[in-house]
Amino acid sequence: MVINTGQRTDIPAFYSKWFYNRIKDGFVLVRSPYSENAVYRYILDPSIVDLLLFCTKNPRPMFEDFDLLKPYRTYWFVTITGYDKDIEMNVPDKKEVIESFIELSKKVGKERIAWRYDPILIDSKHTLSFHKEKFEEYSSLLSGFTDTVIFSFVDLYKKVKDNMPSLSEVRIEDKIDFVKFAVKVAKACGFSLKSCAEKEDYSALGVDASGCMSSSVLKKAIGGNINIPRFSKSRDNCNCYLSKDIGAYNTCLHFCSYCYANSDRRKVLEEVRNHDDSSPLLIGNIKKGDIIKYVDEGSWISDQLELF
């Protein structure tokens, strides 16, 4: 089984103490975002959890009790963009995040950490030249500490449009210009350049379009073969496996303008007030009418050799 901590919120940045309490207790409860009284119980035993996936803009809070992760296989996606506080309100200074990235890479190995430079949005301040400059600068600093960099261009979901009404789709000519530049920079720095859920196929330009959390990535992170159950795509042009997410929507305090996981700040602050580090649920606790479903899919690791 694969457990994800970061598709709905940023657990490493804001809820690391809660997460480590879940590791200590050996299980976690997750309230379904689609059914108020449906609660899933996942066992957090290394013999069952084949991989812990982390997606974060600030891994540093996880370092305090990092030894608790030693029995587990982990893979990390760390987002580092060039945006300032006007776009990413509560993300730490990028110099600090880069330092944390490098420290994390030394802990887990560069093959188990990927850098995300996304989403790419273009406006009067964040021009194509701006993104090229930042991408090249960060690539130089992160060279040798990862073998993968992932990019995507902003998707104008309703929440994004509400937060940034003047924002427009990135022009195809600007996309191609950036991709060609990024391919050269990534190659020089020893990175594989991957696209994330892009409707355009950039593979002819040297981009790996197979997916950032594809079965091949999971196998690489685990260091062996796994039998992944069949799954449906979460959205068009996405080849990523939908792992068991233990987060909750409307709980991320980064308050990024392009965020799709928060509906509004007032809702987030309301939810966060109900967070308890000792609760098995990220937000609130078990209440009357809840139905707990015990999920035990077992390990997917296979001893069989894969034929190519």
pTM, rounded to two decimals: 0.93
pLDDT at position 236 is 58
Read off the pLDDT band of 251 (50, 70, 90): very high
Read off the pLDDT band of 48 (50, 70, 90): very high
Read off the pLDDT band of 232 (50, 70, 90): low
Q: Give the pair of three-digit tokens for residue 115.
A: 């850098």
Which has more pLDDT, 235 or 79?
Answer: 79
Read off the pLDDT band of 163 (50, 70, 90): confident
Strand partners, 194: 150, 208
pLDDT at position 107 is 98
pLDDT at position 306 is 46
- Residue 234 pLDDT greater than 60, yes or no: no
Closest CA relative to residue 155, chosen from 125, 119, 126, 208: 119
Read off the pLDDT band of 307 (50, 70, 90): very low
- Residue 178 pLDDT greater than 90, yes or no: yes
Is it true that the peptide bond before 71 is cis, omega within 30 degrees of 0? Answer: no
- Residue 308 pLDDT greater than 50, yes or no: no
Read off the pLDDT band of 304 (50, 70, 90): very low
Which has more pLDDT, 162 or 279?
Answer: 279
Residues 198-205 have a mean pLDDT of 92
Which has more pLDDT, 120 or 224?
Answer: 120
pLDDT at position 219 is 83
Helices 94-108 and 128-142, packing angle to 10 deg? 40
Each residue's pLDDT tens digit, 103-158: 999 999 999 999 999 999 999 999 999 999 999 999 999 999 999 999 999 988 88
**DSSP letter for each residue of 148-159:** EEEEEEPP--HH
pLDDT at position 20 is 98
Contacts of residue 277, defined as CB under 8 A and 6 or more positions apart, other chains included, come to 15, 17, 18, 21
Q: Give the up-direction half-sphere exposure of residue 270: CA atoms within 13 A in the CB hemisphere.
A: 8
Q: Give the up-direction half-sphere exposure of residue 281: CA atoms within 13 A in the CB hemisphere.
A: 21
Where on the phi/psi map is residue 261: left (φ > 0), alpha (ψ -120 to 50), or beta?
Answer: alpha
pLDDT at position 220 is 83
